[in-house]
Structure 1
Amino acid sequence: MRRGYIVIDNHIHYWDASPENCNEYGHRWIKCFHAYHKAMTPSDEYLWDLDLFRKAPEDWWMRTLFDESGVDVGILQPTHLMDFFHRGFNTVEQNAEVWRKAPDRLILNGRVDPHDGDAAIEELHRQKEQYGIQGLKLYTAEWHQGSPQGWRADSPEAMRLYEECEKLGIKNLHFHKGPGIDPLTLDGFDVGDIDGAAVAFPRLNFIVDHVGLPNLDKFCWIAVKQPNVYAGLSVAVAFGGKRKRYFAETLANLLYWLGEDRIMFGSDFYIWHPKWEIDVIIDFQMPEDLAQEYGVTVTETTKRKILAENSARLYGIDLEPIRQRAAETLAA
């Protein structure tokens, strides 16, 4: 818990960008990540040097996420990027290493690439059988065997993948739809292809991580008509550190179009320290002019839904044991 709030961080990573694991593109990738880290972190207290940022020790990672930040449950989102990293950047297997150390506090999502056809379906089954995955992290701009073309979320290959997800009970599909990271293009992450996919598969949850930024309007126009489209606040919430007005406008739009039941907190750890991002939500007050213009408010109920309850509903997480543990800790 953080300051009396249960926290489910639905967007975390455990990556390896050590120099020996990077090719030319991998070095560009992690330096771009680190530039985002430095630009948006609000104080020196939370800044990490590039060496730590490339590959953090496991005990530091656990301590920062759970002890320092108060995250109760974290959801690991893999990104393979085999064209940039010799062993992969943030693979399912890498994430599984930390998941096994804290299976009561971490949820492991899977990852496949629709480009791989039958092999992607086989890999989906393997991850479900081996790890019991409830969701996937999908990167539409990801290169494939040297080709920078990426894929579309509404392509026939992707639709085949969703059909298999339905059969296996893998309901939560997280899509990176937002910032480009060098060398991946911004257009490759455009949010427009979520529309047809969400229409075709109403029983699956399409979680749009980073809320489509900088194309927030397009995302909102899709989400307002599709109740199975959700807003993942990772990256967006990081603007609450130095660009509070921008974040307030983003949240006002999300509340106006989607309501408070489809917005979920994610820190994108360890691009940023979750502690200060959680505090952005806890301390948030909607500016009066935005509250009047959009007709929205941010209540304690809103904050609890964003920080935990909405993610708990999608992932079947029972919050009562977390409350009980917190009460026992206070009593002790």
Structure 2
Amino acid sequence: MYSKDGQDYYIVDEHIHLWDARESNQKNVHGKQFIDCFYDYHRNLSPEEEVWDYDTYTYYGAERLMKDIFEDGYADHAIFQATLLGDFYVNNFGQTEDAFALAQKHPDLLTYNHAYDPRNEEAGLEQLRRDADRMQLKGVKLYTAEWHGDSRGYKLDDPWSRRYLEECIKLGITNIHVHKGPTIRPLDRDAFDVADVDKVATDYLDLKFIVEHVGLPRLEDFCWIATQESNVIGGLAVAIPFIHTRPRYFAQIIGELLYWLGEDKIVFASDYALWTPKWLIERFVDFQIPEDMTEYAPITVEQKKKILGLNAAALYDLDVPEHLRLPTSADDPEAEVAPGAQEAVSS
């Protein structure tokens, strides 16, 4: 929980990682390119006092994660989003089994989302079924630009991808987190295009598609899709650090999202360890649209509370303490919004 000026905020960091990008785990030069690109984002968008040394950044471990996210970072809950990158790393980029074990140890604090690749076809479907049963998955993280042998990406509406989405519905995996954001070296920019989200969101209304990084640099395309599709949600990872280096650019991003998507379809994420949540949360609570950017309305405390945690809590049926919920209406201030009740998110 974070408190400021008499307001308490329930915090859900919906996109965190536990990774191993050390040289010993790099399969080839592309593993180094990938973590170096991450570090460039971290170093260039973070306040100077929040920048880690390179060696720590490549491998920080579970103990530091728990401290940065929960002790220092105000989070009430956080969600692992697995990233495999098996073509670049010997034992995957994300420490999936360690992250899963940590979530099992702290189920009140952590949720684990696994990953799949539809290019594994039938064998991958069988693995997804086993993973869903063992890990009790409510969500998955997809990397459409991930390399797979000779393939350098896939589309969400490819035939095999559709079969996996249909299997997710059968298995009760309702939250589909998709990386649709800036290029990460050496992955291909066009493989992160958001157009395929439009197709599957229309066809699979039982699923929620959380578009991580809100499609940047394709924000306009994403907004036009998400305003039409009730089951498309924007994740602020990578977008929110611009609050430090380019505050007017961030004002444009959040202003457009609030205008097109509305306050119920935006979720906070630090993308840890790309960035640590503490400073992001503090600055977002303090942030306001510049007065001269009159095309955007001021951001309210209620909107910030939804974005920082209540919307993600609805997606994952988290038990929000009563005093941190929002009134159902201005006419009934004593009635609280129960977890999962935010209309736009649960529609």
Question: Which shows bigger deviation, 184-193 or 77-86?
Answer: 184-193
Structure 1 residues 322, 101: closer, same or farther in 2, change over 3 A?
Answer: farther
Contact 1:92 1:111 (8 Å CA) reproduced? no
Equivalence map 1:152-171=2 (5 Å): 152-171=155-174
Percent of aligned positions with the same letter in both sequences?
45
Shift of 1:322: 8.6
Contact 2:19 2:94 (8 Å CA) reproduced? yes
SS at structure 1 position matched to 2:211:
strand
Equivalence map 1:136-151=2 (5 Å): 136-144=140-148, 146-151=149-154
SS at structure 2 position matched to 1:10:
strand
1:170 maps to a residue whose letter is I
Residue 306 of structure 1 pairs with residue 307 of structure 2: yes
Shift of 1:98: 2.3
Question: Following the alignment from structure 2 to structure 1, what is the Cα–Cα distance between the partners of residues 57 and 284?
Answer: 24
1:279 to 265, 278, 282: 282
Equivalence map 1:1-332=2 (5 Å): 1-3=1-3, 4-22=8-26, 23-42=28-47, 44-144=48-148, 146-290=149-293, 292-294=294-296, 296-320=297-321
Question: Which shows bigger deviation, 118-127 or 258-267?
Answer: 118-127
Structure 1 residues 60, 91: closer, same or farther in 2, change over 3 A?
Answer: closer
TM-score norm. by structure 2 comes to 0.89
Structure 1 residues 122, 322: closer, same or farther in 2, change over 3 A?
Answer: farther
SS at structure 1 position matched to 2:127:
helix
SS at structure 2 position matched to 1:224:
helix
Contact 2:152 2:188 (8 Å CA) reproduced? no
SS at structure 2 position matched to 1:267:
coil
Question: Following the alignment from structure 1 to structure 2, what is the Cα–Cα distance between the partners of residues 256 and 321?
Answer: 29
Question: Following the alignment from structure 1 to structure 2, what is the Cα–Cα distance between the partners of residues 127 and 204?
Answer: 18
1:316 maps to a residue whose letter is D
Shift of 1:229: 0.3
Question: Following the alignment from structure 2 to structure 1, what is the Cα–Cα distance between the partners of residues 128 and 35?
Answer: 27
Contact 1:11 1:266 (8 Å CA) reproduced? yes
2:78 maps to a residue whose letter is G
Shift of 1:260: 0.3
Question: Following the alignment from structure 1 to structure 2, what is the Cα–Cα distance between the partners of residues 119 and 266?
Answer: 32
SS at structure 1 position matched to 2:181:
coil
Number of matched pairs: 320
Higher helix share: 1
Question: Following the alignment from structure 1 to structure 2, what is the Cα–Cα distance between the partners of residues 255 and 310?
Answer: 13
Q: Deviations over 1:57-93 (max 9, x none)?
A: 3211111111011111000000100000000000532
Question: Following the alignment from structure 1 to structure 2, what is the Cα–Cα distance between the partners of residues 309 and 206?
Answer: 17
Contact 2:238 2:270 (8 Å CA) reproduced? yes
Contact 1:232 1:265 (8 Å CA) reproduced? yes
1:2 maps to a residue whose letter is Y
TM-score norm. by structure 1 comes to 0.93
